[in-house]
Amino acid sequence: MKAFLRFAAVCAVWTAMPCAATSWRSAEPCPPGDNHCIKLEPSARVYGATGTVRLVRPPGTPFTVDVDRDGRHRYVTEFELGGLPAPEALGKYRHYVAWVVDPTLGNLKRLGVVDNGVSRAGLLARNKYMVWVSAEADSAAAERRGPLVLRGLSPSTRMEAHGFMGLGAFLPPEPPSDDGWTPPSMVPGVSMMPGMDRTRPSVSPLQLERFGDVGPAESAGESREIRFADGDTLRLRAARVERTVGGQALIAFAYNGQIPGPAIRVDRGSEIVVVVTNDTPEPTAVHWHGLRLDNRFDGVPGVTQDPIPVGGEFEYRLRFPDAGIYWYHPHHREDIWQDAGLFGNIRVDADWLPPVRREELLVLDDLLLRDGAQLPYGREAPNFALMGRFGNLLLTNDKPRFDLAVSSGERLRLYLTNVSNTRTFNWSIDGHALEVMATDVGPFAEPAWVESTVIAPAERYVLDLTAGAPGRYAITNRVQSIDHARGRFFSQVDTLGFLDVGAPAGEATPPVPAGPASQADVPRPTAPDLLEALPVLTLDLMLRTKGLPAITRQMMLLDESYFNPVEWTGTMPLMNWSSTGQEVSWILRDPDAGTENMNVAWSFSPGDLVRVRLRNDEGARHAMQHPIHIHGQRFVVLSVDGEVNNHRAWKDTVLVPVGSEVEILLEVSNPGAWMIHCHIAEHLASGMKMVFEVDR
């Protein structure tokens, strides 16, 4: 399918653009299972009245999902009401007012005045809650005093506690104790589902400790930044190391003996040579994530190159047309090799951001351990295929605790990269607001102030902060997890380190302008009429399963009443652990052509502009968020669930929450065969990938 407009033709003034996507959901006002809609039921006083509440992504957030610092999903409420009589008909009342209240009827909060028709009210950030509409005498009432006319339950209230007595009929036989598998530990305080301890992956285990050379290994070192000039050469060796994490010695693999690997720093417009030597036990390749480089050097075995054999080497020529923060990692069974330590950062410099005196690269990751050892991986296919491999030890630059020391008033710039297999972080620093300056491939037109940063696997964000008063401030990952057995939310807080702020040190940091110093890397304006004329392609993000154990299937039936827009932690570890790529198929589906994954056939020409709608099926048996990565090109997020995205920057990876539609504007600029895939490593290895062609 050829796009018919060229990028050069699109250069009109950027105006407010509706860009609302046609919904793929049911035409019902509030279809069953819709996590973004609440149906309101009328009281006897207004029998016949109707109402719905749409949960809308707030304006102003630079992320595709908005949460507060504690990880509660945050929405603007949009009411659509009909059939309500004039409030005076109910007594001495003049207004209808909307409220949100906890299921215990505590913590009542006013949302705002509503009426027949469509009206937007206030912001809510709750786990389980009710929405009320009452008639009130005072439009500014802070407490509900008038009669209740409409009420509704949040989508999350569909999730209830389960009784497991009937599951005994589905218990599998006792597994052998010497099969080489180690099951993951349960999350503290979360109940194990009966019989799940009897399940086992259908593939054989691969243990890093027994894989490849069993002799002594060098100790992994910390990442070192290396600056390269145009034409320089880097030799990069992938080999076995021993990494010490939290006092535990673990077998790992690293580039040049460093975890993260060497931090490559270059100027925009330069080109370097990287010679990769493969001293791992399996063929490999290196993908240069986010770079718009020559296709033959993209590092995808079977698509752009043959894998590098054991003991062999391959010469990559990397060019850097865009300033930004990038990274590199294997693109063959990355559920194993990336998790084992093969990753590193690339920073491409230009005048894309205002200068600061202090900068830090922070690589976020996690590891899954039990009794001081890493859990085995699936050999023939990945396990943890349903939800991905959530680690239980969170790392920054391969350390369970990473501290930063700054002076009060100092301006600090942080470059965050998420290299975890699955985990989306909600990253924050106590007592400090964060200024989101840039993302994957460049800066935002205007920085966005946030209290926490939502960063999915493979995404990058550049954050500025000004150190506050002297003291110690925790660096945390704060999320809301779900205990599916009890149907409840609970908070999880992981302390990743501390920001130690000392006394001011002499001369203060120079003031920073409100916006980036250079706008050259910001997406070019696009007029609404030209956007509307562009071709539109669609990918549905779906799941198909077969052959899962009976008890797993039953648990999935109990679980499907509600899925969080983002599954922040692995609270169903045994069910997830025993699912493999032999039973689970994650799917990118082109609904117009009826094709899936590697059978999707898209083709373009350099210069094409295309709107792509990414629709995450909330009706899947176990719906999950998907960070979708597009190789070799760049794109802009236009809208989320039909709401215009006002914070635009060039990206290569975007998080698509459960039940959401994210529309992007894809700029096709780079010839070759390029992959689109989910960057949850186990989803990629379970089939969630496709290749599109760009004419040469």
Domain that holds residue 612: 7-15+523-546+583-694
Q: Angle CA(445)–CA(448)–CA(453) in degrees, nearest 5?
A: 125
Q: With DSSP H G I counted as helix, E B as strand and the rest as coil, what are the percentages for the chain, rounded to 5?
A: 10, 40, 50
pLDDT greater than 50 at residue 8: no
pLDDT greater than 90 at residue 136: yes
Residues 542 and 679 in one domain: yes
Residues 210 and 124 in one domain: no
Give residue 401's identity as a one-letter amino acid code.
R
Band the pLDDT of 12: cuts 50, 70, 90. Answer: very low
Give the residue, 351 or 472, on which the prediction is more confident: 472
Residues 306 and 209 in one domain: yes
CA 279 to chain centre: 32
Q: Is 659 exposed, middle or buried (0-12, 13-18, 19+ CB in 10 A)?
A: buried
Q: Which helix (H) or strand (E) covers residue 529, if one does?
A: helix 528-533
Task: Please give the sequence-ordered ranges of beta strands (E in DSSP) within 156-224, or none if there are none.
Answer: 205-206, 218-219
What's the pTM value of the predicted model, to 2 decimals?
0.93
Which CA distances in Å does 550 have to 290, 543, 572? 41, 18, 16
pLDDT digits (tens, 9 = 90+) for 40-71: 999 999 999 999 999 999 988 999 999 999 99
pLDDT digits (tens, 9 = 90+) for 263-287: 999 999 999 999 999 999 999 999 9
Q: Which helix (H) or strand (E) covers residue 58, if one does?
A: none
Band the pLDDT of 171: cuts 50, 70, 90. Answer: low
The pLDDT score that the predictor gives to residue 305 is 97
pLDDT digits (tens, 9 = 90+) for 430-465: 999 999 999 999 999 889 999 999 999 999 999 999
Are the beta carbons of 134 and 146 closer than 8 angstroms? yes
Q: What total of structural domains would you count in the chain?
A: 3
Percent of the chain with pLDDT over 70: 91
Look at residue 182 and give its three-state secondary structure. coil
Are the beta carbons of 123 and 76 closer than 8 angstroms? yes
Last residue of a domain, one of 96, 123, 158: 158
Longest dimension (CA), the chain: 85
pLDDT greater than 90 at residue 168: no
pLDDT digits (tens, 9 = 90+) for 553-596: 888 887 788 899 999 999 999 999 999 999 999 999 999 999 99
Tell whether 493 is covered by a domain: no
Are the beta carbons of 348 and 268 closer than 8 angstroms? yes
pLDDT greater than 70 at residue 229: yes
Which CA distances in Å does 1 have to 501, 536, 537, 671, 691? 55, 10, 9, 15, 13
Tell whether 474 is covered by a domain: no
pLDDT digits (tens, 9 = 90+) for 623-674: 999 999 999 999 999 999 999 999 999 999 999 999 999 999 999 999 999 9
Residues 246 and 145 in one domain: no
Tell whether 71 is covered by a domain: yes
Query: What's 46's domain CATH number?
Result: 2.60.40
pLDDT greater than 70 at residue 534: yes
Band the pLDDT of 170: cuts 50, 70, 90. Answer: low
pLDDT greater than 80 at residue 177: no
Tell whether 551 is covered by a domain: no
Q: How far apart are CA 657 and CA 564, in angstroms?
A: 9
Q: How far apart are CA 295 and CA 306, in angstroms?
A: 13
Residues 148 and 238 in one domain: no
Which residues contact residue 67 at a Cβ distance below 8 angstroms, ignoring those fewer than 6 apart?
A: 73, 74, 125, 426, 452, 454, 566
Last residue of a domain, one of 350, 368, 401: 350
Q: Average pLDDT for residues 162-178, to the nearest whole number?
A: 65
Last residue of a domain, one of 350, 372, 404: 350
Q: Which of 366, 422, 357 is nearest to 389 (CA)?
A: 422
Residues 116 and 250 in one domain: no
Tell whether 26 is covered by a domain: no
Residues 590 and 532 in one domain: yes
pLDDT digits (tens, 9 = 90+) for 68-118: 999 999 999 999 999 999 999 999 999 999 999 999 999 999 999 999 999
HEC string of 119-149 equals: EEEEEEECCCCEEEEEEECCCCCCCCCCCEE
Q: How far apart are CA 623 and CA 617, in angstroms?
A: 7
Question: How many C-alpha atoms does 60 have within 13 Å on its Cβ side?
Answer: 10
Are the beta carbons of 569 and 576 closer than 8 angstroms? no
Strand partners, 561: none
Q: Which of 69, 66, 80 is nearest to 29 (CA)?
A: 80
Residues 236 and 121 in one domain: no
Query: What's 606's domain CATH number?
Result: 2.60.40.420
Residues 212 and 95 in one domain: no
Are the beta carbons of 423 and 390 closer than 8 angstroms? yes
The pLDDT score that the predictor gives to residue 280 is 94
Tell whether 363 is covered by a domain: no
**Pairing relationship of beta strands 595-596 and 626-630 according to DSSP bridges:** unpaired
Residues 600 and 687 in one domain: yes
Band the pLDDT of 16: cuts 50, 70, 90. Answer: very low
Band the pLDDT of 11: cuts 50, 70, 90. Answer: very low
Strand partners, 461: 416, 439
Q: How far apart are CA 545 and CA 542, in angstroms?
A: 10
Residues 686 and 542 in one domain: yes
Residues 259 and 153 in one domain: no
Mean predicted lDDT score pLDDT of the chain: 90
Q: Which residues of 218-228 are buried (b: 16+ CB within 10 A; e: fewer)?
A: eebeebeeeeb
Q: Which of 237, 232, 233, 270 is nearest to 254 (CA)?
A: 237
Give the residue, 551 or 240, on which the prediction is more confident: 240
Tell whether 182 is covered by a domain: no
Tell whether 332 is covered by a domain: yes
Q: Which of 75, 123, 70 is nearest to 430 (CA)?
A: 70
